[in-house]
Amino acid sequence: MKKIYGIFTGEYSDYRIMGYMEDRKSAEKYCALKNLNIYGDYCVEEIGDIEISAETDNVKLKYYHEVVFDFQDGDFKIYKMRKEPTRYHFFTGEDKPTEFKVQTSYTNLSAIHLMSTSRKKAEKTAQDMMAKLAYAYAELGDIEAAMAQVGAKER
Per-residue model confidence (pLDDT) at position 40: 67
User: Which residue from 41, 8, 48, 11 is spatially nearest to 27, judged by alpha carbons?
Assistant: 8
Encode pLDDT of 76-114 as tens digits. 899 999 999 999 999 999 999 999 999 987 778 899 999
Percent of the chain predicted with pLDDT > 90:
68
CA-to-CA distance for 104 and 133, rounded, in angstroms? 13
